[in-house]
Amino acid sequence: MKVKTIVLIIFLLLVCISPASAAGTIIAMSPQDAAALVYVSGYDLDPAVFYPYEKGTVTVHVYNAANASVGLSMPDLIDPNVNVINKNSFTTMTNIGPGATVDFSFLVTVDPPDGTYFPLFTVPTKTENSVHSTLKIVVDSTDIRASISKKPDTFSVSKKDTVNVSIVNPRDGDITDVLIIPEGTGVDVTPSETFVGTLNAGSSVQVPFQITPGQQANLTFHVSFHNGDNKHTTDVSLPIVIGEDKLAVVPIVNNVALTSSGSVYTVTGDINNAGLTDAKSMVLTIGTPARAVEPYAEYAIGSLAADDFSSFELSFTGTDLSAVPLIITWKDKDGNQRELV
């Protein structure tokens, strides 16, 4: 008798468990019960944080936990600061199947002032019940900060210097497609543009540019980015002021001595680099009206480090010894030719 009872109980359990319930849904005994098992499982915002009046998308995920389909119609977001642009997109009935999720995407703008808003999402069911959920939307007018974080005190014509553009995202949401494009006349800038991509909330980036001016000018860095699908721009201005290079090579000649042998004169001395930058490929020679001749028409020093010196010897001919120009040439770290007479 006990065996028959156990068999009967197992049979009844097998009958009661439907395929839908085995898949994770809950058995609903009526349409009203099924509607009561529909709920908001989550939502997404794009952008994550809105600028005032900015257009964006609110996507609400609605899940049906029942084992029967439920009809939904006319979903809405209710808040005086949240304006739904596409209300006419939800005029037809949407049936959500057992264990299924349906997404309702609202195209919205959000009015100022800055703050946090809690619009009510609501969607009526076919049985005249409604699904409700409170969402959270943040409006923040705080803009990104763009500035010049590194530059020389002054620039020198044809000398390459590094300038860093700093971009800070103080917002609580990521920004995307960050692009920097420099613009200026008489200035060579490398690279011509830099794509930063995504800048996460609360983070910053330093973007280097190589600046070689041909004249005094104004250089503007155009910074653009997207918040959601909305493009924003800001500019950073950099005056290119031409002045003395405080780190430049400073050749100083000492201990000069002049001797002669027939018509050929020999000048010897020491050359010191009193600057703060090494001189590369330094060469000395004699200029007009004198004429450099062998055996020492040119004297190659090579690399002369900052605060170092080297001796030299040059030979030349000439009839006027009142002015004998000494020409010193070298290259900077970027390979640009420099000259001092």
- For the stretch 233-258, pLDDT in tens is 999 999 999 987 777 889 999 999 98
Q: Are residues 209 and 166 in the same domain?
A: yes
Instruction: Specify whether the CB–CB gap between 134 and 58 falls below 8 A.
Output: no
- pLDDT of residue 58 exceeding 70: yes
> How many CB atoms are located within 10 Å of the residue 321 CB?
12
| Residue 203 belongs to domain spanning | 145-240
Query: Average pLDDT over the chain, rounded to whole?
Result: 89
CATH number at residue 321: 2.60.40.1480
Last residue of a domain, one of 103, 137, 171: 137
Last residue of a domain, one of 240, 264, 297: 240
Residue-level pLDDT at 11: 33
Q: How far, in whole angstroms, is CA 162 from its chain's centroid?
A: 17
Q: Are residues 149 and 97 in the same domain?
A: no
Q: Rounded mean pLDDT of 272-285?
A: 91
CATH number at residue 98: 2.60.40.10
Residue-level pLDDT at 261: 87
The answer as to whether 1 is a domain residue is no
Residue-level pLDDT at 158: 85
> How many CB atoms are located within 10 Å of the residue 118 CB?
10
The answer as to whether 74 is a domain residue is yes
Q: Are residues 226 and 279 in the same domain?
A: no
List, for residues 113-142, the tens digit of each pLDDT value: 999 999 999 999 998 889 999 999 999 999
Joined together, the tokens standing for residue 93 give 């009935």
One-letter amino acid at 240 equals: I
- pLDDT of residue 214 exceeding 70: yes
d(CA 142, CA 295): 71
d(CA 149, CA 15): 74
Angle at 104 between CA 232 and CA 36, to 5 degrees: 145
d(CA 34, CA 26): 9
Shortest CA distance to 159 belongs to which of 15, 332, 17?
332
Q: Rounded mean pLDDT of 156-179?
A: 95
d(CA 114, CA 100): 36
Q: Rounded mean pLDDT of 8-21?
A: 37
One-letter amino acid at 28 equals: A
- pLDDT of residue 340 exceeding 90: no
d(CA 273, CA 254): 11
- CB-count exposure of residue 221 (10 Å: 0-12, 13-18, 19+): buried
The answer as to whether 149 is a domain residue is yes
The answer as to whether 86 is a domain residue is yes
